[in-house]
Amino acid sequence: MEQLPRLFNRRRMPMLAMLILNGLGQASAAIGMALLVERAFDRLLVGAAPLAPGDIAWLGGGMAGAAVLSGWLRARERVESERLGQDYVHNVRMKLHRQLVTVSPRALQKRSHGATTLRFVGDLSAIRLWVSRGIARLIVAGVTIVGVLAAMFIIAWPIAVALAGVMALSGLLTLRLGRNVETASRASRRRRARLSANVNQQVAAIGVIHAFGQADREHDRLRRQSKRLRTATIDRARATGNLLGLGEGSAAMATAVTIAVGAVEVGAGRASPGAVVAAMAIVGLLTAPLRDLGRVEAYRQDARVAFEKVGRFLVGPGSLEEASGATPLRPGPGRLTFDNVWLDDSLTGITVTAEPGSLVVIVGPNGAGKTTLLSLAVRLIDPSSGSIHVDGQDLAGATLASIREAIGVAGPDFPLIRGTIGHNLRYRYPDATDEEIDRVWRLCEIPDVLRVFPSGEETRLTDGGGNLSAGQRQRIALARAILGGPRILLLDEADANLDPDASTVVDRVLAAFPGTILLVTHRRERLADAAAIWHLRDGRLVEAGPAGEILHEDGPTTRMFDLEPAPA
């Protein structure tokens, strides 16, 4: 299973070093500014000789240089911190995607699509903010504050101690208020995930909503979810606002403490007016880090929840993994064998073989386990027990790439994807030769599909190919499945709800495909073309054998299709 990557690895250590150097640079600029201010004010206020033009130029130029350096370093800090955050999030995103593409469809269907999308969008955004504007800011500000307070301790140690106390108190209060942000963040993200899932569902089922006249009802439902999200978001803003207010108050308190302690020290003769003014200049430079404390804590609390959700996704069940030492499937004619296969409560003790080059028709009522059986055959699911072999080799010990190469599949669970028609046609085998492409295109009548669209293969598809007819989608799906010459072809209701022309294409593919075909269907006319029939009911194989024998008997299959047993 994938694990969350380490933040500071060998690749990101130089980025950490740059942030530390940036903090040292900002501390140096602040200290330099303070020393110059102290010198200037002590010269002006203690009754010494007026500053010479050369001194004014030197002091003014030094202050200007320190100010420019400080501004440049803050700008560089933002760039370096964003580089750190983006690099880390890229690493997490790739691990998330690696986990996503190895999760079996069966396991993924049990998760909310809205929540899954949130892992890649909202959660990664929260993690990026924490790394780039939280951790990076803490590193730079921490180095800066330590350096500046050390210098302040030399200039006027009572002021330095007072400032350290203000910062320590502010930090403790920030941690305390941060708990409220965590609670509010969890509520807000929960509401956001539910609303996102609802919108995704409505987009996918817009036809159902219109057909059953439920637009107003769904609108009301979304309104309620939106109001709950609005309330949760406002609650989070309130909690975050308290943190920001604490930061502003801490900055003001630091200024007040510096003036008060400085006045006492000057009055007691232990500090010069220039030292107090220098301390005020330093406090001004520390105001930004103090104000940032609230934001940093808000980022941290948001990221805590995000890390938790991302971590659960990465270690979630249902991943398809290659066995250690997996080997590619050996070449063979396409014999597919199920050996006492069980799958939870879906399939029970399936033992059956599809002979090479045969057409096996799989029938049974809805929910019998037909689609599940195909998913096992292409190893989109692993059985609870038992084994599945292709040409004598156990799929559990074969590489996933070789399984995908050996088995083509088409059906409603394998829709067209966003992109161009050409991208979908070549998706299974991008490196197909022109001869192979021409053969498959003609077999599936792809030129007739492309002729309808002015852009041809460059025509872009919406989700699932929604801008195509059912027949056009099926032609493309069939071409995609057989491109590259797999030895086994799995078709799940490939001939359902098609017009006569599209059904003819399916007939042509079934007749021309040289390998083994497993066809799930409810059409009785397919039985006559089958070499074998497998009949599933409630996850059990209730009948299996040569089609000629089964159709001559008064068994489950003939009764299901209301057939008279064929004469002997």
Report domain extents, the chain.
13-314, 336-560
Is residue 317 within 8 Å of residue 384, measured between CB atoms? Answer: no
pLDDT band at 1 (very low <50, low <70, confident <90, very high): very low
DSSP state of 433: -
pLDDT band at 245 (very low <50, low <70, confident <90, very high): confident
DSSP state of 180: H
Task: Evaluate if residue 351 carries a pLDDT over 90.
Answer: yes
Euclidean distance between CA atoms 2 and 11, whole angstroms: 19
pLDDT band at 346 (very low <50, low <70, confident <90, very high): confident
Helices (H), 378-469: 400-406, 421-425, 434-443, 446-451
pLDDT band at 66 (very low <50, low <70, confident <90, very high): confident
Helix/strand/coil percentages in the chain, nearest 5:
65, 10, 25
Euclidean distance between CA atoms 137 and 145, whole angstroms: 12
Is residue 80 within 8 Å of residue 15, measured between CB atoms? Answer: yes
Return the structure tokens found at 349.
């003790």
* pLDDT at residue 493 in the model: 87
Tell me the chain's radius of gyration from C-alpha atoms: 35
Euclidean distance between CA atoms 355 and 288, whole angstroms: 74
Task: Evaluate if residue 183 carries a pLDDT over 90.
Answer: no
Nearest to 329 by CA among 388, 409, 414: 388
Q: Which CATH architecture group holds 13-314?
A: Up-down Bundle (1.20)
pLDDT band at 88 (very low <50, low <70, confident <90, very high): very high
Task: Evaluate if residue 317 carries a pLDDT over 70.
Answer: no
* pLDDT at residue 297 in the model: 77
Task: Evaluate if residue 47 carries a pLDDT over 70.
Answer: no
* pLDDT at residue 38 in the model: 72
Q: Residue 114 contacts by C-beta under 8 Å, 6 or more apart in sequence?
A: 193, 194, 195, 196, 197, 198, 199, 200
Q: What are phi and psi of 497, to 5 degrees?
A: 60, 35
* pLDDT at residue 282 in the model: 76
**Residue tagged 């900002």 (tokens):** 26
Q: Domain 336-560 carries which CATH code?
A: 3.40.50.300
Top pLDDT among 106 and 547 is at: 547
Query: Is the torsion defined by CA of 255, 261, 266, 267 positive or negative?
Result: positive
Euclidean distance between CA atoms 346 and 411, whole angstroms: 19
Amino acid residing at 433: T
Q: Is 68 helix (H, G, I), strand (E, B) or coil?
A: helix
* Same topology between domain 13-314 and domain 336-560: no
Task: Evaluate if residue 421 carries a pLDDT over 80.
Answer: yes
* pLDDT at residue 115 in the model: 62
Q: How far is CA 460 from the centre of its chain?
A: 24
Task: Evaluate if residue 73 carries a pLDDT over 50.
Answer: yes
Neighbours of 434 (CB within 10 A): 7
Euclidean distance between CA atoms 306 and 89, whole angstroms: 12
